[in-house]
Amino acid sequence: MPRVPIACRLGPLLGLAAVLAVLAACRENSTPKSCYDLYGTGYAYDFNGDTSIVFHWPASYMPLRVYADSVGELRADTRAGMDLWVSAFLCHEVSYTMVADSTTADIVVRNPAALPAVVVRGMREMHADSVGACHGVTQFATDSDTTALVGPMRSYVAAFPGADTAAARACYHFITAHELGHALGLLSESPNFGDLMFAAPTQAQLTDNDKFTIQYLYHVKSRLGPPPRP
């Protein structure tokens, strides 16, 4: 079940006055209602229903440092994906800069020949695939007490074996954006077909649901601390 309070997920079913009243009651701080999309339906943002694993990047880490391999259109896709998510924030909670050194990055995006296996004990990961052409995974690891990340968010996109090259490149546009949603803290998949964070996305666009959920996430308590920066 989504971890957004149930009343906060009824926006499309309520009149505007009721929506405003519900949102005012749901917020965990004094964030202006203008920071939220009033008509989105929230979905889960914790990790597989574990409410102890909730994460978003703190304001002190802005702009986020994002690295992408110089492979094909990956850097362009990463910029486009980050721009898409940044545009969802009505109160400018997230910003980013591209960096040339992966060792200084908060988010690392790569395009290997095949998706990596879990190589660190305690690593957690979220998978997505789409149109039989490409798939992706985002991995993160926490400390032994599950109180903080111990390294950057790592997102990977790769073509399926034998996939048509043109189809894979088209697929990368939305799989990269999907994986960046995970890297920003959306640690679950949306159950709604059509959302970018659906497990099998089909287009690089944010729905009202995607916007509302990440807006909401960035105004609740992050249960995990960020990784130390070099």
**Which range has the worst mean pLDDT, 90-99, 122-131, 166-175?**
122-131
Cα–Cα distance, 28 to 30 (Å, whole number): 7
Residue 79, C-beta contacts closer than 8 angstroms, at least 6 positions apart: 68, 98
Q: Give the pLDDT confidence of 172-204 residue by residue, as tens digits.
A: 999 999 999 999 999 999 999 999 999 999 888
Each domain of the chain, given as residue ranges in start order, spans 6-217
- Identify the band that residue 79 occupies on the pLDDT scale cut at 50, 70 and 90: very high
CATH T-level topology, domain 6-217: Collagenase (Catalytic Domain) (3.40.390)
**Could you tell me the pTM of the whole model?**
0.85
Q: What percent of the chain has pLDDT over 90?
A: 69
Note if the bond before 32 is cis, omega within 30 degrees. no
pLDDT for the residue 1: 29
pLDDT for the residue 197: 96
Q: Give the pLDDT confidence of 98-121 residue by residue, as tens digits.
A: 999 999 999 999 999 999 886 666
- Decide if pLDDT at 80 tops 90: yes
Structural tokens at position 89: 């924030």
Q: Give the pLDDT confidence of 14-67 residue by residue, as tens digits.
A: 333 333 344 444 444 446 678 988 888 999 999 989 999 999 999 999 999 999
